[in-house]
Amino acid sequence: QITLKESGPTLVKPTQTLTLTCTFSGFSLSTSGVGVGWIRQPPGKALEWLALIYWDDDKRYSPSLKSRLTITKDTSKNQVVLTMTNMDPVDTATYYCAHSGTAAAGLYYFDYWGQGTLVTVSS
């Protein structure tokens, strides 16, 4: 059974750096074709893809946010960490991590999602 859970601060101040951790179980991020991504959703707005890291440490970032994002993995801990610098109130959103298991087959979708964590940016 695949599960993912996001953790991190619920409140950050403007200009601070946000660090979110995705802790997962039921799969290994060293298995070929597997990836873990981050997606966010501001209140009442659409989903926005942020970043994704693959089993081979290949990383992809949203072009519009690339300069602010860093994604890393710790295979031994079954964790993926996303950092976002220079936080702004517009970054207030629910942040989700999600599993993708089919990249090796050329299929790029998320089949398992975490419950999400709401991050508020405010002074």
Partner 1 sequence: SYELTQPPSVSVSPGQTARITCSGDALPKQYAYWYQQKPGQAPVLVIYKDSERPSGIPERFSGSSSGTTVTLTISGVQAEDEADYYCQSADSSGFWVFGGGTKLTVL
Q: Which residues bind partner 1 (CB under 8 A)?
A: 37, 39, 46-49, 52, 58, 60, 62-64, 96, 106-111, 113-116
Of 18 and 96, which has the nearer Cβ to partner 1? 96
Q: What is the secondary structure of 10-73 as a DSSP string?
A: SEE-TTPPEEEEEEEESS-TTSTT-EEEEEEE-TTS--EEEEEEETTS-EEE-TTTGGGEEEEE
3-state secondary structure of 89: helix
Q: How far is the CB of 26 from partner 1 (least distance, A)?
A: 16
Q: How far is the CB of 73 from partner 1 (least distance, A)?
A: 17
Distances (CA, A) of 91 to 34, 62, 78, 94: 27, 14, 26, 9
Give the sign of the dihedral formed by CA 18, CA 6, CA 73, CA 48: negative
Of 76 and 106, which has the nearer Cβ to partner 1? 106
Of 27 and 96, which has the nearer Cβ to partner 1? 96
Q: How far is the CB of 94 from partner 1 (least distance, A)?
A: 9
Q: How far is the CB of 82 from partner 1 (least distance, A)?
A: 14
Of 14 and 42, which has the nearer Cβ to partner 1? 42
